Amino acid sequence: MTIRTVGIVGAGQMGNGIAHVFALAGYEVLLNDVSADSLTKALATIDRNLERQVQRGKVEAEAKAAALGRIRTTLQLPDLGQSDLIIEAATEKETVKQQIFDALLPHLKPETILTSNTSSISITRLASRTDRPEKFMGFHFMNPVPVMQLVELIRGIATDQPTYATLHEVVKTLGKTAASAEDFPAFIVNRILIPMINEAVYTLYEGVGSVKSIDESMKLGANHPMGPLELADFIGLDTCLAIMNVLYDGLADTKYRPCPLLTKYVEAGWLGRKSGRGFYDYRGETPVPTR
């Protein structure tokens, strides 16, 4: 199947990044959200990020203008129904994702491919709620989408080969690299990354080190570009906790038990950069550790 039009559900950090790369690659994009304010902010973010690429010489000014011209927005979910490919990029809650797919189904073309940008939830289970499990896949982009090169492709048990082949080719047109992952909790990247972050939170919780010492140790001792707690704030502590819960529930292994301190931060609404406070406080000129 040839993909020309792409519908994206969710205009947040991941959704606007996905819209950015698809529009830049020449696809017609329809971006949906329940909030008009979120759509306005998403377009401003895409404009700003494209301009940054122009200033760095990675994108021509004409290409930026053309990409922005390919992005339309809508508050009405059914408007996405005629898209060749739909990418759900809403919050990491299975009930929300199921509600989105339920609402989309009556409006889809028979050939439309459905995908989820979920970072941990079962693709087989999400697909089973639709009328096209053979045309359903996990399409997991990394954050920030315009920068990160990897896309995880996750087949559910019913996903057919033409759907997989189509999305594999789409990833190539975006200038990114596809990695195939089996449909097990958190797939590849987050199966490894999020437990590492959770262990860093345990290290903080148990008093082994401070926020600053833990992050500096991993940056200088393991050559990580970001410390694990800094990275957790960037991802969103609510997302980290949700993925740990999926791992803990799905694999029934105590090594995936979320750290109580991570739970406490989320309960406090300290979700990281997006809320202004997490393991660091971002409300001043420079981030300050909160512990």
245 is catalytic: no
Overall size of the chain counted in residues:
291
State the catalytic residue, choosing from 38, 120, 140, 230. 140
Q: Is the dihedral of CA 178, 184, 189, 192 positive or negative?
A: negative
State the catalytic residue, choosing from 16, 32, 38, 190. 190
213 is catalytic: no
Locate the DSSP E strands across the chain: 5-9, 28-32, 71-74, 85-88, 113-116, 136-141, 150-155, 177-181, 280-281, 288-289
Q: Are 181 and 121 in contact (CB under 8 A)?
A: no
140 is catalytic: yes
Q: 267: buried, middle or exposed (CB in 10 Å: 19+, 13-18, 0-12)? A: exposed
51 is catalytic: no
| 8-state DSSP, 183 | S
State the catalytic residue, choosing from 119, 120, 122, 198. 119
Identify the H or E element spanning 61.
helix 61-69
State the catalytic residue, choosing from 49, 92, 116, 152. 152
- The strand pair at 136-141 and 150-155 is best described as antiparallel
Tokens linked to 29: 């994009």
Active site residues: 119, 140, 152, 190
